[in-house]
Structure 1
Amino acid sequence: MPVTDIAYARSFSFYLERLFQARPQRLEELALHQHLPFDVAQMQAFADWDALIEPDALMPVLRHLRQAVMARLICRDLAGHASLEEVVSTISTLAEFAVQRGLIAARHSLASFGEAIGEESGEVQELIVIAMGKLGGKELNVSSDIDLIFVYPEDGDTNGARSLSNHEYFTRLGKQLIRIISEPGADGLVFRVDMRLRPYGDSGPLVMSFAALENYLLTQGREWERYAWIKARALSGDAAALWDLVRPFVYRKYLDYGAYGAMRELHAQIRREVARRDMAANIKLGPGGIREVEFIAQVFQLIRGGREKSLQLRGTRATLGQLKALHLMEDGAIDELQQAYAFLRKLEHHLQYTDDQQTQTLPTSDDACASLAHSMGFKDWPAFMNALNLERRHVTRHFEQVFFLPAEDTQIHPLADLWRDILESSSHSAERLATLGYTEADAVARQLAAIASSQRYLQMPERSQRKFNALIPPLIEVASHQTGPDATLSRILALLEAISRRASYLALLSEYPQTLQRLASLCSASAWVSAYLTRHPILLDELLDARVLYATPDWPQLAVQLESQLAACEGDAEGKMDALRHFQHAQVFRLVAQDIAGMWTLEALSDELSRLADLVLAATLRHAWLDIAKRHTEAPRFAIIGYGKLGGKELGYVSDLDIIFLYEDEHPDAPELYARLARKMSTWLTSTTSAGVLYDIDLRLRPNGQSGLLVSTVSAFASYQTQQAWVWEHQALTRARFVAGDSAIGEAFDTIRRDVLMQKRDLAILKQEVVDMRQRMLETHPARDEDIKHARGGIIDAEFIIQALILGHAHALPALTANTGTIALLAVAAEAGLIDQTLARKAQDAYRHYRRLQHAARLNDKGGVPLSTELLGDYQAVRTLWQAVFGQTI
């Protein structure tokens, strides 16, 4: 860095000029070291700190250190050699260093009182100095106050010759620390200390025990304090214990959309104060300023941080980066916010370099304006102001998009009087509903009236009831435009009643009125979807962003996302089980929304649902193994084999998972460990937690069925399949595949499967055994034409046909062993001349039709399908093929 850079910095900064005149040695130091950032190692080397344990000896040296740091930062930044990261991290590091050295001296000054001892633990207690605000986020500005809170773990007494209560001892310690850092002297101060963020503010005690802090947060902590505590970071003492205490106050377990209102109200107070004091030129608090960027980042943290632990960050820029990674805002919006934040923070520092004052207000004199513009890289003040205004407009636009007013604060809805009539038991409501298109208007009016008179509605908190009242009119309106408005509104009302006690869900719908249309469309299209949402209302969050809701799944990326969520729950098995459920439910909901929108063929949708199951099973296996003590290998030599719809990649939304477990491991503890793993996996998959159920599983296809071992070695499985298995078990093997786990075991299974399917069998005996098996099934599931699965000529008959063809002919036609599904294998058999091609095509068309009908019936929670000429013709086509293959009519 040339001497001219120092000269320019002196011309810009009155503070720097005064400093060099008063302390020429600071200029000499700067000339030698200005090419280097001022890191913590250089701070350590600045003085013999261990000799400075007396407060009065330490205080001037800390102030000299700050002068040296400030001189180098100002010159490096103004010369363009220091990034924003260097500036904020250097000044934050200085503050932490000063606190830690100050604590040592403060404790030394109280040595006669001994150490503070906890009355419960009997252990030495340490003051926890909590950095709040920008210091907590390691984003301190160069002339900032530092916001601190003092906490200690336990009450008790000190053990010195002169005893004090722990509270009194830590109060004295805190006061001494504040004096060391903030008392003005001949060389100024190190940092001004602001303690107003502590519980009860200025009127509260200077220090507080864990118990007192926890009680305060539980009983009196306000929404703005949640916002403040996001950035809390312990600079000393037991940081982990502190965060365990504070985290539940800051981050709710559920998606907390009520945070919008609180943050909006806090911002409105700031805006009113800015207007009252004419602070439009304040780049921190004014429109489009630094605070608005921080609010955007932090409202997403408050809403989602409890669920998405990757958002539990303290720095604004890091949080914005994570919002981008999670696709919670448009990439372009995040980029503009990052750029604006960097510009505004740089400007903030240049304002403060002038006279080392904590100011964020633009200058008014022509000379100061010209100098500031030049320091920011602009030729003149107008060019600078154009750039600044552009950045502030970007911030304002994104802020208003995030914090737009909710439904209850906008103009009165045209149907508000209809809901008011219902609340007042007016007889005219049914007529009004009829004019909106409701076909059973009287029944709809009665349902609405039942809600209005229900104890659940009447006992709602006033704020929740206002949101509920604001939601009903637009919901009546959007439902009226759907196919089947009566059923649509009924389904939505059932959902609304279910979530009415959770103010956060009401807040979500209020804050995002555009979600109501998507909600109505989904509920109109599917009774199953509305029931799914009612069971898992957390999925309402998925309606917010159409980009995410309708995005084609990127399974590798989603696998990384799931792994990150599970890793954040390390040591918490129940937390992992909930994370798996939330993830799986969200992906199912996205797929059903895409399905209803016509984005998937049925075959493609089944592939996606099967990929989801594979991913979840793989993650469950991996983390269930980590939950087993005394495991002898990092990765289990264990595999999951899928049968049935999972094996054939024909999963639907409510399909069970037919699975078996195989292992190959010579370790003496392997049988017991893998049996424990299988039981644990079954528990993780099927247990009902607060997040619901993951999958229902069926383990009866394992060797020897329900009486067999839960896990089998590969060799035992091979032996069973070749020597003991029934024909129906070989039928099941036609739709089996390796799903997750050890790939070598998966390859061994594939070999066994192929060898078993390609055994040469007596065709007549085989066909009779398949027919007999079908007959046994009919005894437990009689054939009905409305049941397309069990009807004669239905799904099972079509599958039995292809299974018999595989088992009877795969020895001569290996292509039949490919697990490509019933439709594709019918084509293989027809091309080989095993069945008539015309019959095969008709059976293929019938099978496709069956699956579409079955899928539609499940989406609308119907047990059967309506009979039609087409369906009866499909049944006949499959029956004809059955007769051709088995020589029997059905």
Structure 2
Amino acid sequence: MSGGAFATMPAVGMAPAGNAEPALYSPAYSHYARRMLQARDGLEDVLAEAMRVPLTRAWMEARLALLQQPSADAEEAAKQALRRLRAEVMCVVIERDLRGAATLGEVTAAMSDLAELAIQHGLAVLGADLAATFGRPVGAGSGEVQELVVVGMGKLGGRELNVSSDIDLIFLYDEDGETQGGTRSLSNHEYFIRLGRRLINLLADVTGDGYVFRVDMRLRPNGDAGPLACSLGMLEQYLVVQGREWERYAWIKGRVVSSLATPHAQRTARLLSDLTLPFVFRRYLDYGVIAAIRSLHAQIRAEAAKRSGGLAGHGVNQRSFNIKLGRGGIREIEFMAQVFQLIRGGQDAALRVRPTLEVLAVAVERGLLPAGQAEQLADAYRFLRQLEHRLQYRDDAQTHHLPTTPEEQQAVAQMMGCDDWETLLARLQALQEPVAQQFEATFSDPDTAPCEALWPALVRDAVDEVQGGPAAEATEAGEDAPCARLQAAGFSDCGALFDRLRAILVSPRYRALSEASRARFDLLVNRALDLAARQEDADSTITRFLDFLDAISRRASYLSLLSEYPQAMARVAHTLHASRWAADYLTRHPQLLDELLDNEALADAPDWSAFQARLDERLHVADGQVEAQMDILRREHHAETFRILLQDLQGLLTVEQVADRLSDLADAVLEVTLRTVWRQLATRHCESPRFAVIAYGRLGGKELGYASDLDIIFLYEDEHERAPDVYAAFARRLITWLTSHTAAGMLYDVDTRLRPNGAAGLLVTSFDAFRRYQLREGDNAAWVWEHQALTRARFCAGDRAIGARFEALRDEVLRQPRDAATLAPEIVDMRAKVAEGHPNRGALFDLKHDRGGMVDIEFTVQYLVLLHSAAHAELTRNSGNIALLRTAGDLGLIDAALALAVGDAYRLFRARQHQLRLDGHAQARVEPASVAEPAGQVRALWQAVFGTGGAAAAP
């Protein structure tokens, strides 16, 4: 076909003259396409038909079968066929892309399919040829025929291959051994090296038909110095002993691209995944990668600057700008996606996807990246990748530099749908600048000197002078100066603080830290001293801070997180200062540090449906790994608890809101755990259990505290003959999942003694038996105190039909007619027994158990509900003690004003109790004078309801 046919092609994005659709766009803009069409007869016809629909692997296989000519030299025939196929694919891709018919995903998928097909076809041809001489490689241990496993790295591994890219490969095999069945024998190692070399030549040799793909093998263990092919055992040893940080990034996208058609290949691929997964994805949150990526990016940027003549920035005059490695380029977007994968991929399998755009989408789903920022990154990525392709369409060159001549600039601008080069540059800069800003915000080096460096030099100098003597004995030796400096910084008990700092300095734990970890630890101690000194109680805050830093000192990732994010360190300071309980909780669960970075989560109300869906998904991914699933449950529970705690400490939640959220969290965890455990129960007899969890006590009344246990019972309604045994086993397993201590901590303590007949009763109860027990049908009947407990009971997880029946039964039981003269003494007697079990011999007032405290209020409300619900159904609502008191007052059952006053007292007592627990007090006791008035009002209500003799006052 003559070149003149292409001379009048209109610019891409512009309508052709008249109504005629041009035959082909590509030759006008791609010198490569023009050359191919001129050189090969019939290529235009292939292109005209193929460009109408997206390219598929099936089309490529069909074309390869036609192009592969029978030949005595199968290797040469394959070389020619693959090169001609590559030309066809390239021309179709270019044409469809320039017409706007192909998405970026179609282009990269087509090139990735071509590379995989070429590798697999080449291995088949070469393996058959080698077999004639050497036979097949056989594993010494298994006796199985071994296969070369080709791993695609980089963009091939991510199925994001660009049109003129080389392919990064690694050659692996499973077992050592020797070839069998040929006229000569080779070791498996020698065989696979020989096969690998021939595959590289098949793909990369430049012949009269061009080449298929340039091949880069430098990502293999030890790079160019390492063997061309290595066993899985050799790879494992290398990654464990020598694997470097940048290799973790490379292996993120590592994917087997050779055929997986045989069981051996599939098994080898699984072994490879098991081997590389823990190398790439740490089990903990790995914030150490931020500094490592920062360093790697600086090296890449410097190298790019060298190659482009020192022009690493961006602008109209910097014509050789590299859109891949330059500021705001493709690599920065990839790094921002990879940082989420490397930090969190060990705990969240959803982040282990390979394509960059998919990673960004998952980051948005997980709340790791605002949707607006992700959209900016994705738009820039698509534009840059399309520009990359158009630069490469020109001459099939692996270039990422913007053109330097006006003719090339104009052509590329038109290929991108722009009228001129300046318009393209303006679009490019508008997309790249937000990328660069986001990258710099993510990877900028934090301030490393925020405060005076008191540690460790101040303490080390004094220790050197005193030779380890106690601070009190060393004042004359010069230790008064360090104490004076600590006092000047804002600490009162400087002697105790100095002793603590000295103990850290000489401790084996501190001395055993790596140089990098010790540097970060030293930085954080100085920041802790600075932040603690700003708090009202600097001494207690720094004590908690040092406890916390000591606990995390051996976890380099946590040290990295706090070093990289000073705002997280400031929030740690606030948390440690605000609550001793919070300080202990964070010290026990340092993985919660990650939550301090999520500004939105610290302000938003939780979405419990989304929480359950996310938890279900993560548990499903870890299906069959019980310990991993239990850890996932605990980490998610701790994270949600900590978010509630942080909002609580910031004064964003009332005590009632805290209790509601903690109760909702418990409900959600129970629901998800129930589903997960049932799926793993070997004896289950149906798809979904006809089983319900009923909450009593604090959970039942939605008044759960941070450290509350769960009072629950289990009901089932199932006529299957094995149902009692199955559900008993299910309940035991469920309790184990909730109460077991794992590396991630525990979920809840569980108390099931409120079930029928208490600890002596069955762990699970059929609904019918529970109904008869509560309605006192038969000899085995519920006690009055059990009906008291029922006033705060509710369905919280499991089968909703059983839950609805329970709620109806509860309403029926509570609305039974009761005689005040009989009921009141029983309530009063039970209250006395509770008081005997919680004696208070001190001078302080126990907010919960002393007369006039919370238990008096709760017993009064329970009595009113049991006595009056028959006439007033609204009292059966499980709406909390304060609301029920108000209802009773509105109904005239008690004095309305006194009801409101006692409701306020209950709210006050709960708030005081809550604060004391946050401050680390085991018992909620206060000075009697501070609550004299509200306690007096509670006693007045008790007197009005029960009277001095224990009889109920008439309503």
Q: With the length of structure 1 as denominator, give the TM-score of the two structures.
A: 0.97
Q: Tell me whether 1:500 sits opposite 2:560 in the alignment.
A: no
Deviation at 1:889, TM superposition (A): 7.1
Instruction: Give the corresponding residue for 2:889.
Output: 830
Instruction: Give the corresponding residue for 2:858.
Output: 799
Q: Tell me whether 1:884 sits opposite 2:944 in the alignment.
A: yes
The whole-number CA distance in structure 1 between the counterparts of 2:70 and 2:291 is 50
The whole-number CA distance in structure 2 between the counterparts of 1:753 and 1:510 is 55
2:346 is aligned with what amino acid?
G
Deviation at 1:511, TM superposition (A): 0.5
Deviation at 1:51, TM superposition (A): 7.7
1:746 is aligned with what amino acid?
G
The CA RMSD over aligned residues, in Å, is: 1.8
Aligned counterpart for 1:333 among listed residues 357, 363, 373: 373
1:194 is aligned with what amino acid?
D
Instruction: Give the corresponding residue for 1:755.
Output: 812
Deviation at 1:290, TM superposition (A): 0.9
After TM superposition, the structure 1 stretch with the greater mean CA deviation from structure 2, 3-12 or 71-80, is 3-12
Q: Tell me whether 1:519 sits opposite 2:572 in the alignment.
A: yes
Q: How does 1:459-474 map to 2 (within 5 A)?
A: 459-474=512-527
Q: Tell me whether 1:178 sits opposite 2:178 in the alignment.
A: no
Q: How does 1:76-115 map to 2 (within 5 A)?
A: 76-112=96-132, 113-115=134-136
Query: Does the residue aligned with 2:491 lie in a helix, a strand or coil?
Result: coil
Instruction: Give the corresponding residue for 1:131.
Output: 152
Deviation at 1:630, TM superposition (A): 3.9
**Contact 1:882/1:888, CA 8 A, preserved across alignment:** no
Instruction: Give the corresponding residue for 2:747.
Output: 694
The whole-number CA distance in structure 1 between the counterparts of 2:144 and 2:839 is 73
Deviation at 1:89, TM superposition (A): 0.8
The whole-number CA distance in structure 1 between the counterparts of 2:376 and 2:941 is 64
Aligned counterpart for 2:821 among listed residues 739, 759, 764: 764
The whole-number CA distance in structure 2 between the counterparts of 1:195 and 1:186 is 24
Structure 1 stretches lacking a partner, 5+ long: none
The whole-number CA distance in structure 1 between the counterparts of 2:482 and 2:444 is 32
Q: Tell me whether 1:600 sits opposite 2:621 in the alignment.
A: no
After TM superposition, the structure 1 stretch with the greater mean CA deviation from structure 2, 863-872 or 472-481, is 863-872
Q: How does 1:251-266 map to 2 (within 5 A)?
A: 251-266=281-296
1:484-539 Cα shifts (integer Å, max 9, x gaps): 11111111111001000111100000000121221111111111111100000000
Q: How does 1:164-313 map to 2 (within 5 A)?
A: 164-236=186-258, 237-238=265-266, 239-277=269-307, 278=309, 280=312, 281-313=321-353
**Contact 1:5/1:75, CA 8 A, preserved across alignment:** no
2:140 is aligned with what amino acid?
E
Q: How does 1:545-694 map to 2 (within 5 A)?
A: 545-694=598-747
Q: How does 1:352-363 map to 2 (within 5 A)?
A: 352-363=392-403
1:124 is aligned with what amino acid?
V
Identity of aligned residues (%): 50
Query: Does the residue aligned with 1:793 lie in a helix, a strand or coil?
Result: coil
Instruction: Give the corresponding residue for 1:866.
Output: 926
The whole-number CA distance in structure 1 between the counterparts of 2:813 and 2:601 is 44
The whole-number CA distance in structure 1 between the counterparts of 2:549 and 2:901 is 46
The whole-number CA distance in structure 2 between the counterparts of 1:197 and 1:345 is 23
Instruction: Give the corresponding residue for 1:406.
Output: 446
Deviation at 1:7, TM superposition (A): 4.6
1:736 is aligned with what amino acid?
A
Query: Does the residue aligned with 1:549 lie in a helix, a strand or coil?
Result: coil
Deviation at 1:447, TM superposition (A): 2.3
Q: How does 1:484-499 map to 2 (within 5 A)?
A: 484-499=537-552
Deviation at 1:362, TM superposition (A): 1.2
The whole-number CA distance in structure 2 between the counterparts of 1:290 and 1:271 is 12
**Contact 1:52/1:58, CA 8 A, preserved across alignment:** no
Instruction: Give the corresponding residue for 2:62.
Output: 45
Structure 2 stretches lacking a partner, 5+ long: 1-14, 259-264, 313-320, 463-478, 951-955
Query: Does the residue aligned with 2:661 lie in a helix, a strand or coil?
Result: helix
Instruction: Give the corresponding residue for 1:345.
Output: 385
The whole-number CA distance in structure 1 between the counterparts of 2:712 and 2:381 is 52
The whole-number CA distance in structure 2 between the counterparts of 1:52 and 1:737 is 77
The whole-number CA distance in structure 2 between the counterparts of 1:271 and 1:889 is 87
1:788 is aligned with what amino acid?
L
The whole-number CA distance in structure 1 between the counterparts of 2:760 and 2:234 is 57
The whole-number CA distance in structure 2 between the counterparts of 1:224 and 1:837 is 71
The whole-number CA distance in structure 2 between the counterparts of 1:199 and 1:5 is 50
1:60 is aligned with what amino acid?
Q
Deviation at 1:850, TM superposition (A): 0.8
Deviation at 1:476, TM superposition (A): 1.3
The whole-number CA distance in structure 1 between the counterparts of 2:705 and 2:162 is 55
Query: Does the residue aligned with 2:27 lie in a helix, a strand or coil?
Result: helix
After TM superposition, the structure 1 stretch with the greater mean CA deviation from structure 2, 433-442 or 391-400, is 433-442
Q: Give the 3 Å change call, closer, same or farther, for CA 833–273 of structure 1 in structure 2.
A: same
After TM superposition, the structure 1 stretch with the greater mean CA deviation from structure 2, 571-580 or 49-58, is 49-58
The whole-number CA distance in structure 2 between the counterparts of 1:720 and 1:124 is 68
Q: Give the 3 Å change call, closer, same or farther, for CA 860–40 of structure 1 in structure 2.
A: same
**Contact 1:783/1:792, CA 8 A, preserved across alignment:** no
Deviation at 1:52, TM superposition (A): 6.3
**Contact 2:845/2:928, CA 8 A, preserved across alignment:** no
2:801 is aligned with what amino acid?
A
Q: Tell me whether 1:155 sits opposite 2:195 in the alignment.
A: no
After TM superposition, the structure 1 stretch with the greater mean CA deviation from structure 2, 685-694 or 380-389, is 380-389
Query: Does the residue aligned with 2:42 lie in a helix, a strand or coil?
Result: helix
Deviation at 1:93, TM superposition (A): 0.9
Q: Give the 3 Å change call, closer, same or farther, for CA 5–222 of structure 1 in structure 2.
A: farther
**Contact 2:166/2:216, CA 8 A, preserved across alignment:** yes
Aligned counterpart for 1:532 among listed residues 577, 585, 591: 585
2:379 is aligned with what amino acid?
Q
Instruction: Give the corresponding residue for 2:756.
Output: 703
After TM superposition, the structure 1 stretch with the greater mean CA deviation from structure 2, 809-818 or 219-228, is 809-818
After TM superposition, the structure 1 stretch with the greater mean CA deviation from structure 2, 161-170 or 523-532, is 161-170
Deviation at 1:698, TM superposition (A): 0.5
The whole-number CA distance in structure 2 between the counterparts of 1:826 and 1:864 is 23
Deviation at 1:306, TM superposition (A): 0.4
The whole-number CA distance in structure 1 between the counterparts of 2:21 and 2:401 is 28
The whole-number CA distance in structure 2 between the counterparts of 1:644 and 1:191 is 69
Instruction: Give the corresponding residue for 2:765.
Output: 712
2:147 is aligned with what amino acid?
E
Q: Tell me whether 1:69 sits opposite 2:89 in the alignment.
A: yes
Deviation at 1:790, TM superposition (A): 0.9
After TM superposition, the structure 1 stretch with the greater mean CA deviation from structure 2, 354-363 or 546-555, is 546-555
Deviation at 1:333, TM superposition (A): 1.7
1:41-66 Cα shifts (integer Å, max 9, x gaps): 21122143798692222221111111
Deviation at 1:419, TM superposition (A): 4.4
1:566-593 Cα shifts (integer Å, max 9, x gaps): 1221111111111111111001111111
**Contact 1:418/1:429, CA 8 A, preserved across alignment:** no
The whole-number CA distance in structure 2 between the counterparts of 1:241 and 1:636 is 36
1:587-627 Cα shifts (integer Å, max 9, x gaps): 11111111111111111221111111100000000000011
The whole-number CA distance in structure 2 between the counterparts of 1:27 and 1:256 is 53
Deviation at 1:783, TM superposition (A): 4.1
Aligned counterpart for 2:364 among listed residues 295, 300, 324: 324
Query: Does the residue aligned with 2:796 lie in a helix, a strand or coil?
Result: strand
**Contact 2:455/2:522, CA 8 A, preserved across alignment:** no
Instruction: Give the corresponding residue for 2:469.
Output: none
Instruction: Give the corresponding residue for 1:386.
Output: 426
The whole-number CA distance in structure 1 between the counterparts of 2:389 and 2:571 is 46
Query: Does the residue aligned with 1:211 lie in a helix, a strand or coil?
Result: helix
After TM superposition, the structure 1 stretch with the greater mean CA deviation from structure 2, 769-778 or 494-503, is 769-778
Q: Tell me whether 1:476 sits opposite 2:529 in the alignment.
A: yes
**Contact 1:13/1:353, CA 8 A, preserved across alignment:** yes
After TM superposition, the structure 1 stretch with the greater mean CA deviation from structure 2, 352-361 or 26-35, is 26-35
The whole-number CA distance in structure 2 between the counterparts of 1:492 and 1:624 is 39
The whole-number CA distance in structure 1 between the counterparts of 2:237 and 2:750 is 44
